[in-house]
Structure 1
């Protein structure tokens, strides 16, 4: 038995297998004072149990390190959960019924706010204002879509925003228009939506942001998640995180990626440095084990949009869906030279950089920027990472390992579903469609993988995401054909990416593994998903497993056993 103390433990987990790594197992684990105190055979570890020790026996279960989500939007997801939540609904009529009911139930709200609609339920992926006008004619309605790259609005919202047929598209977005009249139809893409959200919609108070983070935290803990990287931290959400960390209510370990304003340039770096300095003093948690709290040490740069609305940046033009090509290559939100200069300065200042890159041009720009920083500054341990990586040219796959760039994978997206089949593949064409989400190729080339959900864009459940990583099939439609099956990962690779890989990208030396002396971040599953025969070539029902108990920094933060 490996042990760090002879004193009685606070918690002992037995019965379930303890996953220590690929092919390495133990029978029990003990926790004391927020750290893992002992690992070994059940009989040995139980010797550390005293009268006040909680002993949990979970026969047939599995203990893994607490999952870490490397790309999530917890405050925004928590806020939307407290507003009009459309994420769990399917179809235009279900959306409209929910919107009408919400408006009736909240007559005093000046705006109807929320989101979560999916583009595949509307022709061309663009809902219209008339549907909203029929049920909410007197108040502005603003509803982000599921991926938060566009918004559905009614006529009143367009009027309040001053958007009409003569309004020019912003450089970083587009107003969907009627092709005959030029009138706005009710969908705002990218910067057109963000301008309305940022300039006109009443901002949440700090107390509201705190409540949103706590709502999200409770939900993420219920899924076995003990830490995450927040991929969009504003000054307001940073303040809320810091308050929660300082008073002990932030039980997760959170890395904050400070948002890079794409309409500004290098002049914003001093403010980011000041925010990092403030966070290093204010974000320390008084409890929760070593390395816990809030750490705003990263900068998030959005380099392009998404493919479905044709704002993802491509090297060659989008297809028109009918065998030809358009003249549209998407949008590089940041000039490649500015991106390289920004990354070089941020790297020199000690920041990690977290980049959103969907299209192959955006991925190449991001890699080029890291290469420029390496050339100027030399090697570092910043652990820069590129999220989403939907379309990657084969010659760029190897550059991840060569440049020490972590591939931040949203594996749930790598499946055949209506948005992929109807809105994405037709505008990519067959050659580029076959380059999507090359996770296995990245791993084989030597790249390190981390995993994140992008919740609330898609499910936050790591087991759902790992099932897609292993099968490339939607867990709710297991009879579907796999999507580019050559890019499947093994279960061990998926588990490692969602634990050790994400802990690595989060600079978390105390998490990501079950090891004596590390912070006690643990998830107890009701099913041993690593048991021989559980995952085969024909089935991998990972999403059917449940999390029974979550331990974060030694504290039980989710428990359906007691």
Structure 2
């Protein structure tokens, strides 16, 4: 046998552990054909078209991102991209410079940080000073709010008399007028006016996202909102087009968006529409077996659903007695979850607050009690605040944890916006990864990019240290909830591959798909404080190189 790739002289993480004896891997076609010592693999593989001397580096299964918005992220990278900008002044300057270069009717993009502005809510005057003549719509980093200028408010007819939508809130000044930040469903008041994304824009954005994600060792992902949301259009046609042309190299799946306006009266029609779109996407090379249900919002803008009120004087003006929002309501959610399960969908539920987490678990408990859920890979994404009584329910109900571990640290947003709203007790209930695993829960990981970096090693760093990357002296956020490197890496590879139903991926074993990553070093030999420095030297999808670093000696 002549192999296409032979990797030698390294260490091998097989999806569960560092292999105790293996140092080499051989690939033929799109499959792994041998795993063993250098001598064992060379004896089986024969001469190879490509030989990679790992030189002690770690080879792993490709990373699978279980919760990402690749279409949005790629399109925003090609627009007014604020994700790498820090500070209010720099953010405004970046918008000004972009607007000067652009002749577009609307200035759109996103990635600004709530922590850069007082209360997390930037105002119209900042944008009016640099773009007074055109409407501006900029989604924030978590995609649960948008910053607009006066021209955009005028286009939408938003005034002090405009009522808040049921699923959102207009941030207001002291006189009740709109101040420039639109939360959750209020974004749609302006987003509905945006020029529709063209097929060319979606195609370019998705290709850029794919290139960028492969460079971080990501070989597959779950597109977490497949539908119209926050000014972005359904990205499905772009996925199908790239798959048809042979340009979709990632193993991408989709979670079809369940509208937050779904009612018991419209439920049957919604499920039928989702099932029809699932058939079209599946036939077009973009399997869409999950349904995305957003139970609540986010803590920073007080729309995450909490069991007890937020600790702030302004909480009384929000729904449910200052406890945040639930978009479908518990009773509707229970019925929606059961209907989606009967239709064969995996439930992908956004749950930030402890009340939202409980409602998501209640939904699965109810459908299982009614005889459902035997085949669904149902999961809760984010799980920021989990009441202690609910930790054991994940394993008992077979609900997986879809974790965004990068957020589990005392960064600026946590310290300045979140903790003051949650209080000491609930701060201690955040991101209980170790407790969930100890209780037997299944763990997958994702980034929620472009909400935060798609680099798995930034998230793994926080999962292991509970400190922000590059801040070794920072106070850890609940150090007892840290994971071992082995468990975190397993979650981002095998765990997420399971969640995405990638039966032949997520592991380095003979017969498995050759979705492989060569890292820049062996992270198990590093001080945990340096895990965020790990890079990707080579990424293979199905035995095909989709990213090769320019570092000397990566491929020999």
Hey, what's the Cα distance between the residues in 2 that align with 1:559 and 1:63?
Answer: 14
Hey, what's the Cα distance between the residues in 2 that align with 1:117 and 1:356?
Answer: 21
**Residue number in structure 1 paired with 2:281:** 279
Deviation at 1:280, TM superposition (A): 2.0
**Residue number in structure 1 paired with 2:388:** 394
Asked if 1 retains the 8 angstrom alpha-carbon contact of 2:364 and 2:373, the reply is no
The alpha-carbon distance between structure 1 residues 96 and 438, as it changes in their structure 2 partners (threshold 3 A), is same
CA RMSD of aligned residues (A): 1.6
> Is 1:32 aligned to 2:28, yes or no?
yes
Hey, what's the Cα distance between the residues in 2 that align with 1:559 and 1:82?
Answer: 23
> Is 1:99 aligned to 2:130, yes or no?
no
Deviation at 1:52, TM superposition (A): 5.9
Secondary structure of the residue aligned to 1:43 is helix
**Residue number in structure 1 paired with 2:224:** 231
Hey, what's the Cα distance between the residues in 1 that align with 2:310 and 2:99?
Answer: 39
The alpha-carbon distance between structure 1 residues 90 and 350, as it changes in their structure 2 partners (threshold 3 A), is same
Asked if 2 retains the 8 angstrom alpha-carbon contact of 1:344 and 1:377, the reply is no
Deviation at 1:320, TM superposition (A): 1.1
Match of 1:331 among 325, 329, 348: 325
Where in structure 2 are there 5+ consecutive unaligned residues? Answer: 229-233
Match of 1:250 among 237, 248, 251: 248
Hey, what's the Cα distance between the residues in 2 that align with 1:195 and 1:277?
Answer: 31
Deviation at 1:271, TM superposition (A): 0.6
Deviation at 1:208, TM superposition (A): 1.5
Per-residue CA deviation, residues 279-311 of structure 1 (Å, 9 max, x unaligned), is 22111xxxxxxxxxx211110011100011000
Deviation at 1:378, TM superposition (A): 3.6
**1:78-477 to 2 correspondences below 5 Å:** 78-106=74-102, 108-179=103-174, 181-197=175-191, 199-234=192-227, 236-265=234-263, 266=267, 267-283=269-285, 294-320=286-312, 327-477=321-471
Hey, what's the Cα distance between the residues in 1 that align with 2:313 and 2:415?
Answer: 11
Deviation at 1:16, TM superposition (A): 1.7
Secondary structure of the residue aligned to 2:60 is strand
**Residue number in structure 2 paired with 1:558:** 547
Hey, what's the Cα distance between the residues in 2 that align with 1:513 and 1:247?
Answer: 28
Per-residue CA deviation, residues 10-54 of structure 1 (Å, 9 max, x unaligned), is 111112211223242411111111010111111232245566611
Aligned residues: 538
Asked if 1 retains the 8 angstrom alpha-carbon contact of 2:12 and 2:18, the reply is no
TM-score with structure 1 setting the length: 0.93
**Residue number in structure 2 paired with 1:22:** 17
**Residue number in structure 1 paired with 2:231:** none
Hey, what's the Cα distance between the residues in 1 that align with 2:220 and 2:239?
Answer: 13
Deviation at 1:379, TM superposition (A): 4.5
Where in structure 1 are there 5+ consecutive unaligned residues? Answer: 1-6, 284-293
Deviation at 1:347, TM superposition (A): 0.7
Hey, what's the Cα distance between the residues in 2 that align with 1:255 and 1:427?
Answer: 35
Asked if 2 retains the 8 angstrom alpha-carbon contact of 1:321 and 1:427, the reply is no
Secondary structure of the residue aligned to 2:224 is strand
Hey, what's the Cα distance between the residues in 2 that align with 1:262 and 1:456?
Answer: 21
Secondary structure of the residue aligned to 1:90 is coil
**Residue number in structure 2 paired with 1:287:** none
Per-residue CA deviation, residues 392-416 of structure 1 (Å, 9 max, x unaligned), is 1011111100110001111000000
Secondary structure of the residue aligned to 1:135 is coil
Hey, what's the Cα distance between the residues in 2 that align with 1:332 and 1:323?
Answer: 15
TM-score with structure 2 setting the length: 0.94
Deviation at 1:322, TM superposition (A): 10
Hey, what's the Cα distance between the residues in 2 that align with 1:545 and 1:368?
Answer: 39
Hey, what's the Cα distance between the residues in 2 that align with 1:82 and 1:97?
Answer: 18
Q: Which moved more, 1:348-357 or 1:49-58?
A: 49-58
The alpha-carbon distance between structure 1 residues 109 and 378, as it changes in their structure 2 partners (threshold 3 A), is closer
The alpha-carbon distance between structure 1 residues 52 and 504, as it changes in their structure 2 partners (threshold 3 A), is closer
Runs of 4+ off more than 3 Å? 47-52, 321-327
Asked if 1 retains the 8 angstrom alpha-carbon contact of 2:291 and 2:346, the reply is yes
Secondary structure of the residue aligned to 1:474 is coil
Hey, what's the Cα distance between the residues in 2 that align with 1:480 and 1:440?
Answer: 20
